[in-house]
Amino acid sequence: MNAVTPVLLGLLASKPCSGYDIKRVVDRSTRFFWAASYGQIYPELKRLEAEGLIEGEDRPNGGRSRRVYTLTPAGREALLEWMRSEITTIELRDESLLRLFLADELPREEALWLLEGRKRGHEQYLEVLREIQALPGGPDPTFVDLVLRYGIDFNEWGARWCEEQLQRLRAETKAA
């Protein structure tokens, strides 16, 4: 499996989807912690189909070509095997944190501006996640809701942490 495989298998476990459908779902759900681009999705769908983990069927939509994929029993088994694996990697790739890590190379105000930007980023994510939480249609499945709540809690904490650090660093600057 590569990084996008579990996303595809997992989304196809719930219902048949096209690559476009998958990208749409990713953009309002897993992208907040596990992104997938069209450039990753379509080649992986082809590979998974060639391996027999999914099956595709051409279903044109108007004038557009469209291929809808379903999970095969082998694909479901591969997904369950991955989910049940004892190996769990918590890997964070955060460009904002990398910039902060290197921020001593900047003048102090520019470095603080990076921290302010991170705070705004957390606040923007919170707004999006709360909009998702308020969507009509009833409650999300239990563990989808659990991950959404994690995202909300994490970004509330992140915005608060950034504000506390901004205050601390500005106080240090004034005292110096």
What is the number of alpha carbons within 13 Å of residue 139 lying toward its C-beta? 7
Q: What Å distances lie between residue 151 and 6, 108, 121, 132, CA to CA?
A: 20, 30, 13, 11
pLDDT reported for residue 57: 96
Q: What does pTM read for this prediction?
A: 0.82
Which of 108, 120, 128, 107 shows the shortest CA–CA distance to 172? 108
Q: What ranges do the domains of the chain cover?
A: 5-84, 95-175
CATH architecture, range 5-84: Orthogonal Bundle (1.10)
pLDDT reported for residue 82: 94
Which of 53, 52, 67, 56 shows the shortest CA–CA distance to 18? 67
pLDDT reported for residue 38: 94
* Average pLDDT along the chain, 176 residues, taken 10 residues at a time: 92 95 92 90 97 95 90 97 89 88 94 97 96 87 94 97 97 87
Q: What is the DSSP secondary-structure string of 19-76?
A: HHHHHHHHHTTGGGTS---HHHHHHHHHHHHHTTSEEEEE--BTTB--EEEEE-HHHH
